[in-house]
Chain A
Amino acid sequence: QKEVEQDPGPLSVPEGAIVSLNCTYSNSAFQYFMWYRQYSRKGPELLMYTYSSGNKEDGRFTAQVDKSSKYISLFIRDSQPSDSATYLCASGEVEGGKLIFGQGTELSVKP
């Protein structure tokens, strides 16, 4: 069983739509959760970091963690063509420890 699973998409939405990206994880020891954005042939860019169940909001982005169901989500409001990228979820156990990444979901926002 993969430790972090993510639907690879691709997901195509019109500009202005609300986007929902989701991951599940299997390791109960995961304590913290990240969302990264990756443009083609570029490094992952940290978007959101959470370590507890609940919601965390930053501008148009909201990260949601439900530890009871091992489910993590990223919502993007008022999506823009510049949001078109691959979104990676990642989870880790301890400070300074490795991150386990999902496959990534490719998002395309059409003008």
Chain B
Amino acid sequence: EPEVTQTPSHQVTQMGQEVILRCVPISNHLYFYWYRQILGQKVEFLVSFYNNEISEKSEIFDDQFSVERPDGSNFTLKIRSTKLEDSAMYFCASSYANELFFGEGSRLTVL
């Protein structure tokens, strides 16, 4: 069964460093997303991406964040200068229409 894959599963970084989280969405899907979940809190929308551009972003997704689909398969989230409060699970998701399928997540720890 096709699935969304994410790397790395866990990344530890120092405050102020740049981080890139990678995702391979399901191959025939059209919409791509990043969500995050701070420990013990709800899953929060960050950004959606369609037709090679951002279609919607939340207020969390400020200038420190960027997304890219550099080739036909990968979808990346970059955090330019990490802050302590960026520590969270980051989930990539993809959909063909309305049903979103999530990856297992990348746990980011900022020290």
A residues neighboring B (CB under 8 Å):
32, 34, 36, 41-46, 49, 51, 88, 90, 92, 95-104
B residues neighboring A (CB under 8 Å):
4, 30-31, 33, 41-45, 48, 50, 55-56, 58, 89, 91, 95, 97-105, 107
Query: Could you pull out 8 A-B pairs where Cβ atoms are within 8 angstroms?
Result: A34-B99, A44-B43, A46-B102, A88-B42, A95-B97, A96-B50, A96-B95, A98-B56
- B101 near A46 with CB under 8 A, answer yes
Find chain B residues with CB under 8 A from A100 CB.
Answer: 45
- B104 near A97 with CB under 8 A, answer no
Find chain A residues with CB under 8 A from B31 CB.
Answer: 96
- Number of A-B pairs whose CB atoms are under 8 Å? 58
B30: nearest chain-A partner, CB-CB? A96
- B45 near A34 with CB under 8 A, answer no
A51: nearest chain-B partner, CB-CB? B98
Answer whether A45 and B102 are a contact pair too, CB < 8 Å, given A96-B31, A96-B50: yes
B57: nearest chain-A partner, CB-CB? A98
**A39–B33 alpha-carbon span in the complex (Å):** 20
Find chain B residues with CB under 8 A from A104 CB.
Answer: 42-43
Answer whether A97 and B56 are a contact pair too, CB < 8 Å, given A32-B98, A43-B102, A49-B98: yes
Q: Which of B30, B41, B100, B107 contacts A99 (CB 8 A)?
A: B100
Q: Which of A46, A51, A97, A104 is the most central at the interface, judged by chain B CB atoms within 10 Å of its CB?
A: A97
Find chain A residues with CB under 8 A from B41 CB.
Answer: 103
Q: Which of B42, B48, B102 contacts A98 (CB 8 A)?
A: B48
- A41 near B101 with CB under 8 A, answer no
Answer whether A49 and B55 are a contact pair too, CB < 8 Å, given A96-B30, A102-B42: no
**Min CB–CB distance A3 → chain B (angstroms):** 11
